[in-house]
Amino acid sequence: GENVEQHPSTLSVQEGDSAVIKCTYSDSASNYFPWYKQELGKRPQLIIDIRSNVGEKKDQRIAVTLNKTAKHFSLHITETQPEDSAVYFCAASIRQAGTALIFGKGTTLSVSS
Amino acid sequence: GAGVSQSPSNKVTEKGKDVELRCDPISGHTALYWYRQSLGQGLEFLIYFQGNSAPDKSGLPSDRFSAERTGGSVSTLTIQRTQQEDSAVYLCASSFEGRIITGELFFGEGSRLTVL
């Protein structure tokens, strides 16, 4: 089955800096890669996703890139703010096959002002 | 309800007892997931129900764990003979998924299980 590795496990940045979180996946058939954000004491929520037919997707300060050949994808947050502090999870699945969404172990991002 | 509902929100039990955790997904959602989140750990996949297909049970850690989804709606996760290592937050999520539609997962608040 699918295995998702996520790095780093913790990331500390200064407000205004950029943050990058990287994930690799094992199943070359995976074609859907969402990112979820979990603030302290709250439930995970989707922030951005990408399908395998595109290499990059942006939404304001957040972008995700996908390299299918290398089987890795990354989350980029620019101009970080204290409210970006949270745990971020990447995930992968094979949508058309109806397979389960498998998450990485998460990255704890701390943005200090 | 408007969101995914889980009960109980907190459960404290003694080692060896059985527990049942309930998930009421968003109405109309075809897919339902159970994940386990231990302190400082990620979202560990347990089981996945999708429509009328056979569930994907590949994430269940042992045969003490089982889950059902009755009538394509409410799901119950059962843990038999609980062990201390079962202590965690059990999260349920639902989504609408089809061959083309990629559904966002909506998570419940979770059930925090503590095994003494």
Looking only at the bridges linking them, the beta strands covering B10-13 and B111-115 are parallel
Nearest residue in B to A51, CA atom: B102
Does residue B50 sit at the A interface (CB-CB below 8 Å)? Answer: yes
Give the pLDDT of residue A96: 63
Give the pLDDT of residue A94: 78
Give the DSSP letter of residue A99.
P
pLDDT one-digit tens code per residue, A53-112: 889 999 999 999 999 999 999 999 999 999 999 999 999 987 666 778 999 999 999 999
Tell me the nearest-neighbour CA distance from B37 into chain A, angstroms.
10
Give the pLDDT of residue B102: 66
pLDDT one-digit tens code per residue, A2-55: 899 999 999 999 999 999 999 999 999 898 999 999 999 899 999 999 988 889
Both tokens of residue B14?
């003694």
CB contact under 8 A, B105 and A98: no
Give the pLDDT of residue B97: 76
Tell me the nearest-neighbour CA distance from A46 into chain B, angstroms.
7
Q: H/E/C letters for each residue in chain B?
A: CCCCEEECCEEEECCCCCEEEEEECCCCCCEEEEEEECCCCCCEEEEEEECCCCCECCCCCCCCEEEEEHHHCCEEEEECCCCHHHCEEEEEEEECCCCCCCCCCEECCCEEEEEC
Does residue B96 sit at the A interface (CB-CB below 8 Å)? Answer: no
d(CA B111, CA A26): 30
Tell me the nearest-neighbour CA distance from A58 into chain B, angstroms.
17
A46 CB neighbours in chain B (<8 A) are 104-105
Q: Which of A49, A89, A98 is facing B97, going by the closest CB pair?
A: A98
Percent of chain A residues topping a pLDDT of 70:
97
Q: Which of A1, A49, A105 is facing B42, going by the closest CB pair?
A: A105
Both tokens of residue B55?
């569930």
Give the pLDDT of residue B2: 79
CB contact under 8 A, A103 and B42: yes
Question: Mind listing the pLDDT tens digit of every residue in chain B (116 residues)?
Answer: 579 999 999 999 999 999 999 999 999 898 999 999 997 678 999 999 988 888 999 999 999 999 999 887 999 999 999 999 999 999 999 998 765 556 789 999 999 999 99
Q: Are B41 and B87 within 8 A, CB to CB?
A: no
